[in-house]
Structure 1
Amino acid sequence: MITSVKNEKIKTLKKLHQRKYRKQTNTFLIEGTHLIEEALVSNWVTKEIIISEEVSVPEAADNVPIIKVTEQVFKELSFTASPQGIMAVVEMKKEDEVSGEVIVLLDAIQDPGNLGTIIRTADAAGTEGIILGDGCVDLYNDKVIRATQGSIFHLPIMHADVEEAAARLKEADYNIWATALEKAENYKELSIPPKTAIIFGNEGAGVKESLLETADERVTIPILGKAESLNVSIAAGILLYYLKN
């Protein structure tokens, strides 16, 4: 039982709150029973589990080292105001090329909640993979991970230059869609291609012009009320379910 927040192990774990230490160690923290259960049944490697006193160890964690800490120490490590008393260190997975009928490309999505929700929605809709471009929020940010609700462990995700990725996908006979508010076709009026790569852009600036110019289709979702636009994660949900219908 670790009882001090000054313990070296605790100091090392606390560093994983920072992106640079996550990159250095190729590991990240997840918190909460559901996320840990999802990680344990995936093909990601859970390196160790940290539990607060009186919290039970998950059944699936048979071969995972357990670190027990006091409630006070756990609060020092926790990302949340009301911690569940369980977290884990997970190893970042080697990225593979994504392929399939529908691929999502994300251009500078900066809000952690939006990125996490898009990942969760893409997983639910049966999308085959996601490509994260430059300027996107860190995939292993705790708010991103919590918003995925475990889908981060079930959907292929890779980092790449979006323009280069779009060019490669175009050569592989993907139809490139880019979301836009102007000079765009209503998505309902477009037939669904055999293979589609769809680009979603930054919350404020949208998809950059260079990507819009290379797209086969600029697509839009009609705004029927007085809202100026849709949240990007909501737009992703509508279009991904349309493409996978």
Structure 2
Amino acid sequence: LGAIIRTAYSAGMDGLVICQDNSASVTPAVVKVSSGSAFLLPICIVNNLRRALERAKEKGFWIYGTEKDGRPYPQAIFPEKVGLVFGNEGSGMRRLVKESCDETIAIPMANPFDSLNVSVSAGILCFEILRRRLFPETGPR
């Protein structure tokens, strides 16, 4: 979790939502791994992720879930208000959470493999969003 917080902050994300029951907690070790960015990035801990996603959508956010059968992320359009949902590394997103997403995207891999570490996936997608914000001509039209 610390690496995800550090990555999200470095890539200019506006915040992080963590589900209280199914995620790692923000502990002193997590803060240390985040290199202190846990104090700089707004973090919201919620009891019901599905409800939080619905509220975000009501506020105009487009929510992408991540899974191996989703559309390849280079084809995705990332609007200004975008949320990314990363599931458990072992079991992925829960069904109701997945159903709350507007669409699912995947990170293409050269060799067949189940999944990447969640912090690696978060890094790839957060920095893809930053790249497109800095260089909009490089994204899909």
Q: One fold, TM greater than 0.5?
A: yes
Partner of 2:54: 167
Matches within 5 A, 1:73-222: 115-133=1-19, 134-140=21-27, 142-160=28-46, 161-182=48-69, 184-222=70-108
Query: 1:242: how far off?
Result: 1.1
Match of 2:137 in 1: none
* Residue in structure 2 matched with residue 89 of structure 1 by the alignment: none
**1:223, 1:229 within 8 Å by CA — same for their partners in 2?**
no
Distance of 1:136 and 1:228 partners within structure 2: 20
Q: Mind listing any 5+ residue stretches in structure 1 that lack a counterpart? A: 1-114
User: Which whole-Å CA distance do the structure 2 matches of 1:135 and 1:227 have between them?
Assistant: 24
For residues 34 and 23 of structure 2, the distance between their equivalents in structure 1, rounded to whole angstroms, comes to 15
Tell me how far 1:149 sits from its aligned partner: 1.1
User: Percent same amino acid at aligned positions?
Assistant: 36
Length-normalised TM-score, structure 2: 0.86
Match of 1:8? Answer: none
CA distance in 2, matches of 1:143, 1:229: 25
Q: How much has 1:228 moved relative to structure 2?
A: 2.6
For 2:87, give the aligned amino acid.
G
Q: Considering Cα pairs closer than 8 Å and 6+ residues apart, tell me whether 1 or 2 has the greater RCO.
A: 2
Counterpart of 2:138 in structure 1 is none
Are the aligned partners of 1:120 and 1:149 in contact in 2 as well (CA < 8 Å)?
Answer: yes
CA distance in 1 between partners of 2:112 and 2:73 (Å):
19
* CA-based RMSD: 1.2
Q: How many residues align?
A: 129
* Secondary structure of the structure 1 residue equivalent to 2:68: coil
Query: Aligned-pair distance for 1:194?
Result: 2.3
Shift of 1:219: 0.5
The SS at the match of 1:155 is coil
Q: Which position in structure 1 is the counterpart of 2:135?
A: none
Q: Do the aligned residues in 1 keep the contact of 2:89 with 2:115 (CA within 8 Å)? A: no
1:212, 1:195 → 2: CA distance? 18
What is the aligned partner in structure 2 of residue 26 from structure 1?
Answer: none
SS at match of 1:117: helix
Does 2:125 correspond to 1:239?
yes
Gaps of 5+ in 2: 132-141
- Give the greater-gyration-radius structure (CA): 1
Alignment of 1:2-17 (within 5 A): none
After superposition, the C-alpha distances for 1:188-219 in whole angstroms (9 at most, x for unaligned) are 00112121011111121111111111211101
Give how far 1:226 is off.
Answer: 4.0
How far 1:244 moved relative to its partner? 2.2
